[in-house]
Structure formats: C-alpha cells, structure tokens
Structure 1
Amino acid sequence: MTRFLGVHGIGNHRPGLEPDAAAENLAQRWEKALRRGLPEEAVIDMRVAYYAHHLARGIAQGPESLDAQEQQLLLDWARHLGAPEDVAQGRLTAPARRAADWIARKFGLDSGLVRIMVSVFCREVRTYFEDTARRSAARDEVANRIAEHRPNVVIAHSLGSVLAYEALWSRQESTVDMLITLGSPLGLPDVIFEKLEPLPDKGKGRRPPNVERWINIADPGDIVAIPRGLASRFDGIAADLETSINVFDFHKVSNYLACSTTSAAVAGFSQTDT
C-alpha cells in the first residue's frame, strides 16, 4: 500500500465541519480524483492535512474587501503576471479591482470568478506570512500529519505547497520519497518567495533534505503558478513539468490530480493488489 498525504490550497475552509471531518471530506475528494489516472487495482491510503481553520479570517468577497497589505500583494502579483505600470503601481481608481480585472482580461477568464479567487489568495497568503501564531499553527498541523501518516508521497497544491515546503524543512526527521507540487506559487517574487522559511540563499531555495525527489507540475495558464517552472528558483527539483489541465479550471486540484502527468509521476508508488 502506498501512503499519500495531500496538502490543500486556498479556499478550503469548512466552517461547518470539525477539522478531522473536513480532512476526511477532502481526502475522499482527492482520492477519487487521483484514482481517475491510476489502475483500478491500485492500493493507496490517501489522507489530507487540513490547516484552513488556522488561517480563516473572514471571507474575502472581492478586491474591495482586502486591506491595504492584501491589495499590495495583488498589485505585486499582477506585476509579475505582466500588468502595465499604471495597473501594477495602483495609479488607477479602485486599484485592486482594476488589477483583478486586468488578470481576467489577460487570461480570458470570468472577471467575477477571478475577483473572488485573487481575493481569497491574497487574504490567506497575507494571514500566513504576517500572523506568526497562525503561521506556526498551520505549518505544525501539516508537519504533524506528515509525522503521523509517514507518507511515501506528499502532494501539495497551491498555497499548500508553501506549507509543505516549510513543514518538511521544520521536521527533517520526517522523510518522504517524493514531493509533488501542483500549481505552486513558491517562486512568486515579493509575494511569497522572499518570505519563506528557511530564507532563500543567494536567490535560491533548496529541496528539503528529507525529500528524496521533488516534481513540480503546473498548467501554463495557471495564474497562481508564477513563475511556471520552479527550477530557476529552487535547487534539487528533479522535473518541472507543464500540462494543460483545463482552459478555465486551470488551478482546480481535482484536475491536477487526475491529469496524466500526475498519474505518471506517482506510477512507481501506486502499488497494485496482487
């Protein structure tokens, strides 16, 4: 049996469920998606490290609901996506909304959905990096699940890749055979990269020493996975892979889990029942 541990991304707070129940709910969804690309007889044990309750700080309804620091994160993010100077520098009226709408136009996406997505991302990222107690609680949650489940493979999506990276560095006695990051913003300058623990050294992060192999997978249209490839920012990545998972649902974890690129990455670990 192969043990998998998922680390979820943004927008996964389940306020109506206890944390253990939320983790189980997510694990069922992740296993269902992952199995779509695996042999029917694959024997796996899928768990998910649920940390969203530690970062919950109200629902971000749109760019206008973000505070000044969160809006600045959005402007920095837009700049690294190629936004023109007047947008990236916030010179226009309602700068955060203008930045979100520019992202939507740039990638041909629904502006309403993009406004919600970028607002949730900026709020959770800001909370994680600016609130020391919440950051420690969320990171420890992931580190504890890794220590308890002892997974062969950790699959970390979106903001979850940041928590998995820091959790693995913080508990180097917990070894894993493979880390797979999906739609990861780990290398996003100004917003995430320079704030990581441990801090990048001379502009480079490193594969955690307790990880045998690290594979990064990103959809070329994923607005969260900036820069698309992580090898330019992190030493020790075995493969930086691009795969088109969906034109509109480019960041959805179920699409990443079910895609052939992820299936191929875990093929050597998804043992079958003989």
Structure 2
Amino acid sequence: MRPLLAVHGIGNYEDVGAPSEASALIAGRLRPQLVSGFARAGLGHLQVPELRVAYYADLLTRQGRQDAEETDIDRLDDDETALAVAWLATAAEAFPEWRRQGHLTLMPRQMLDWVARRRSVPAEVLARVAVAFAREVNAYLSWPARRRAARQAVADMIGAVRPRVLLAHSLGSVVAYEALHAHPALSVDLLVTLGSPLGIPGAVFDALDPEPVQERGAKPPGVGRWVNLADQGDLVAVPRRLGGRFPVDHDDETAIGVVQFHTLGAYLASGLTAAAIAPYLEE
C-alpha cells in the first residue's frame, strides 16, 4: 500500500534541523487524526496507510522564524496588510451589510474584529490565522526564488513517494497546484484540496501560475480526480466551493469546529476526508 502524501499549509514551521525531520514530526502529529477520521467514517476496519508530509515552510521564513503565534495584524508590512485586507473583505462578503454600510473603509484591525464577531470566531484565533496567512502567502507569491523552491520541494516529494492520493491543505493547495502544473509528468490518482484559498479573487486566484484563462483555472495534467473539501466556517477557504473557478470533480462541505476551522489535523479527522481517500487505498 502506497503512503498518503500531505502538503501542509500555513503555520507549520518546525525549528528542528533538516526538512526531513520537520516532515516526520508533522506526519507523526497528524496520523492519529487521520486514523480518527477513518473511524468517524465507519472505515475503522481498513488499514490506514502511512502518512508522509511534503515540507516547505522553512523556505518561506524570514530570518529562520515563522510568526505562527503572532496576533498583531498591525505589525504586517504594506504588502502583507494589503493581502490581509483583500482576504478579510472576501470573507465578509457573505454579510449583506458589509458593502451597504461602507465597511471597506475600516482599518485592518477593525475589519478583523468585525468579521470575528459575525463569524463567531474568537478574535485572537482569527488574528493568528490572518497574520500567518498574510505573511506566508505573501512570502510565497512575492518571492520568485522561494516560490520555485517551495514548488520543487513538493514536486520532489511527489516523485519520491509516488502517492495515489495527494492531500493539499491551505497554502499547500496553492503550492501543490502550481507544482503539478510545473511538472506535468507527475501524476496522482486523487487530489484532495482541504481548506483551499485557491479561489480568493485578486490576492491568490489572479496570481496563480499558470495564469487562469477567462476566469478559470485548469486541472493539473497529472491529476485523475480532484475533490475539494472545506469547513462551512473556514475563513481561509473563500469561496468554499472551487467549482466556479476550477474543474473540480467534487465539491463538498464538512464541519470541523469553530476554533479549529482551518487546521489540517481537523480536516484529516473528518469522515468526509477518509471517505474520499478510501477508494484509492488498494493498488
């Protein structure tokens, strides 16, 4: 049975030495949640494959650190602030009063507090996600050399592991999407995007490589089936359904919790994730 390969998202920098050590550490932390997901789906009788992780967070850090615990959105630089504002504005579009009351003039901190109240998400939790999202997505999209290096790291792991199933979470779904396009010889039977920001207009979608054509992104050539899963309250996955912008084969929504609305572990513990994987466990 081939291993499953996951591509991590934001907030996963591990200061442990070699990238392989960080990869193993994250995989070990996530595997119990993957097993839990199989149990929730009524698939506990199945053998859960080994889980491997494609690690690239070290390539996006400044001065060897990651601000995963930072909650001060006012400390973002101008480019990061612009990305955070674009994301928060997109996340707020579900509320009719957003534009009607002119909330686009709010400062980033005010925007964050407004969205947190209406989404019933603790402001500190949302601030931590906002800072990590803005810094890491901006680092990936705006630093060409590191963008290429992150894509290559993911492509190298796909080539080495040769998984049937690739699980790509958060920013990892952007890196995996671009890596698979850049290396069309790589193939996976199933791509599962989890909490993906691929469809965020302007900030992410319009910056993709390859560039979308007529407001549509393309399925990577080596992908057999593409399933997209997002929590109903995942503010990073906006819009939650990617089918309007990408040729996904199946869009679905899951419930992973208010506080854990975006973590990879929570998505792996979802029965829907296990159900998507299960048909691909046999060689």
TM bin, normalised by shorter chain, reads over 0.9
Deviation of the 1:110 alpha carbon: 1.1
Deviation of the 1:247 alpha carbon: 2.6
Q: Which residue in the other structure is 2:112 paired with? A: 100
What are the residue-to-residue correspondences of 1:73-84 with 2, within 5 Å? 73-82=83-92, 84=98
What are the residue-to-residue correspondences of 1:1-274 with 2, within 5 Å? 1-38=1-38, 39-57=44-62, 58-60=65-67, 61=70, 62-82=72-92, 84-85=98-99, 86-88=102-104, 91-92=105-106, 95-235=107-247, 237-271=248-282
Q: Which amino acid aligns with 1:69?
A: D
Output the CA distance in 1 between the equivalents of 2:218 and 2:256.
27
Q: Which amino acid aligns with 2:183?
A: R
Count of residues in Structure 1 that have an aligned counterpart in Structure 2 = 267
Provide, for residues 102-137 of structure 1, a one-character-per-residue CA deviation record: whole Å limited to 9, x for no partner. Answer: 221121111122112101100101111111111111
Provide, for residues 145-165 of structure 1, a one-character-per-residue CA deviation record: whole Å limited to 9, x for no partner. Answer: 111111110001111000010
Provide, for residues 73-128 of structure 1, a one-character-per-residue CA deviation record: whole Å limited to 9, x for no partner. Answer: 1111122122635443xx34xx2211221221121111122112101100101111
Output the CA distance in 1 between the equivalents of 2:49 and 2:264.
18
Contact 1:75 / 1:87 at 8 angstroms: preserved in 2? no
What percentage of residue pairs aligned between the two structures are identical?
41
Contact 1:27 / 1:47 at 8 angstroms: preserved in 2? yes
Contact 1:13 / 1:53 at 8 angstroms: preserved in 2? yes
TM-score by length of 1: 0.93
Deviation of the 1:59 alpha carbon: 4.3
Output the CA distance in 2 between the equivalents of 1:252 and 1:82.
20
Q: Which amino acid aligns with 2:195?
A: G
Provide, for residues 195-216 of structure 1, a one-character-per-residue CA deviation record: whole Å limited to 9, x for no partner. Answer: 0010000000011110000000
SS in 1 for 2:280: coil
RMSD: 1.6
